Structure 1
Amino acid sequence: MVDGSQRYLLRSARKVSYAQGETLRAMSEAGIKHFSVLSYIEIDSHGVKNLGFIRKDSNNYLNCVTKGHSRVENGDAFELMQSFKTKSNDEDLFYWDIQMDENGCFSNFFYRDGRARVDYEYFGSLNVNPAFKGMFTKCMQFCDSEEEFNIVWAKMIDEFGLHDHSWLKGMHKYRHKWSTTFSTDKFCARLKATSRSESTNFVLKDGGNKTFTLFEFVKKFETIQKRWRTNKNEEDYRCRHTMPSIVVKNQPLLQHAASVYTIEIYKIFENELVNSLNIEFDSLPSLSGSVEV
């Protein structure tokens, strides 16, 4: 006999209802942690005893829904390739390829959609040659004159055959906005934004874990990728149609920064500038000689 308080644990008494299953699926696909989803459904059911299933049942349900029997029978790599084939038939610019090892086993894969192809053609590869990186960095902040900038830039373009590179053409067109060579007439206290893009590990922290199959990881990454693109579109719209609020009104340097920077980068610059003004002198500054800060 099972105690009445434990009857909800009996296999015969447990079942994930259709409504509960849809909630599990939708919230999981949205990236909400499984524990949080269960807590929500438990509250909605007025207690764990009224839930109708246990954690194990919800895990089994999601495995069944997200993987499917054919995926288990045919193997994860096979299912991934089938997914790529379907996408390539539906999307003209979708491309994928796989690599096999010497034993004929699945080794690694590559894929990109049409949007990724357009981005690549505009921005180029993220794998930067060290020599190219060195010359580009020099153009950004270590050229003492416009003549030196032009010499280094021309050498970089010629050496790496980048005459038709659309992104670099755009960067050269707006060189006055990003190269310190052309801002010697503007006081900036040698301030530069030091924040970097979020690391790959950080932005993919919600992309799964080591127990994920290849197919599950790709689907999760596609969800993250859609969120990146949505956020970028929203930020582009915000920067094109609004101006950042300036902490010091009618301040020429901040007004200039607000006109050339995105809102996010402007806020970083403004914060750095304001913090730099909080200076304490060890001694009163003199009109001649050096000042210790």
Structure 2
Amino acid sequence: MNAIEGGDAQKVIEMLQQEDAKDNDFFLRVKLDDDGRLCNVFWRDSMMKEDYDIFGDVMVFDTTYRTNKYNLICAPFVGINHHWKNVMFGCAFLSDEKVFPETRHRLCLWHLHQNAVSRFAKLRSQNSFKDAFKKCLSGCVDENEFESCWSSMISDYKLENHPWFNRLYGLKEKWCTALSKDLFSAGILSSQISESTNHAIGFSAKKNTSLTDFFGIFKEMLKNWRNKEQKDEFQCSRSIPESALPLTGMLKHASEVYTLTLFRDFEAEFLKSISSSSTLILVEDKMMVYNVSSHDKDGLSHRVIFDCLSNLIKCSCKKFEECGFLCYHCLRVLHINSIVSIPESYIKKRWTKFAKSKIWDKFNSTVGRSEKFRDCIPWRHEMARKYYNLVLQCQENKEARMIVEEGYNRDSVAINALMSSLTITEQSDTSIHSNSSHIVQDPTHSVTKERSQRIKGHFQKSKKKKIDASNSIQAKEFGSMSPNIHLL
């Protein structure tokens, strides 16, 4: 009731200001219209900034969701950490989706594949078409192979004059993986990770969700993400990866530097390198050129150039450029040249156990400078010892355990109240105040591109009244359903 009486937008601003009071590096910007109504709001905390500094080489910015009753655009800035899990860089609510027009926009491969096989009844049952289309989406090595595969598919299935496929071909730079291998994307296939993010946010948030409720959902989701990272960090620091192969040579080196998640990816490439074959086709001074072939059903061959003096290596598949760790073609060549550790040039810090070492160093230096903190260490150790002994003393008695738990809950409430009052007292003035002369009015209902919710796909539309194709837009044609795979 307090949130309703205070106004939805005003309450959210106050909640954000409370976060600002607790975080010295919190950032908040709010834009109002001439009537004092909320138009845009962006915020990020200090941990989001630190994560962006480390993992900001890849960021997904997806504005396709409406998760509130004002139809404002929910715009999370999302990346992936060194455990290949979601990490938040910031979040915004926008009334206008014309943002970042100069960035590289991508169409979701999952959406494209689902729409292609669902729109055309005659092709739906043909596995050969599905395979051919999937090959065009993500199975081609370079542009020449893509053009050849696309032409063959269009010709074989008589799609030369089909407008959907013609429009799709015109947007090939936005979805064909063969045309983006020079771009580091951490291996993300289009917006798959943003689908995961929006699924997590939109799971509870609906089109009638207030901004206040959404902020609560957002904070809970963020807390869960960070708890998962803490567990991953702990497990990574205390665990030694298990492998079907002996942990020697490059595999042992990978287990020492990579997180558990990335070690599994490296191990998969290492296993492929063992079963592949290589042929030395050219030697010129210190440069050696190999053809490396796999023995799987594709039987693809890639050219690897190796500088034996500097240990520099390059493969035509461009996996390192795209994903940040070496492909099995390169590993094969390194192995036959008796290289027993991963060359330093090909260990991307963002994938290692030490990705956050800068934050650790910053924390340690801050602790080192703080006499006040050092003075607290003996007291902290003494209190930890006392409470630990108390827990041991009462652990076998239910009534004693209840006394300790009740005391903890009572003390936590009192201490939190005390610390909050001290923080608010010390808070400096911000650009937007919560006094009566600066009340932020709730936003009007935004109307953008005729979309008030997540666009439904072909399978969902078929259950309802059909929509005139002439009124559809590219967003409806090339983006529809959310995948079942979520990177959480």
Q: Report TM bin, short chain.
A: 0.3 to 0.5
Task: Provide the TM-score with structure 1 as the length reference.
Answer: 0.44
Decide which structure has greater strand share.
2
Task: Provide the TM-score with structure 2 as the length reference.
Answer: 0.28
RCO higher in structure (CA 8 A, sep ≥6): 2
Decide which structure has greater helix share.
1
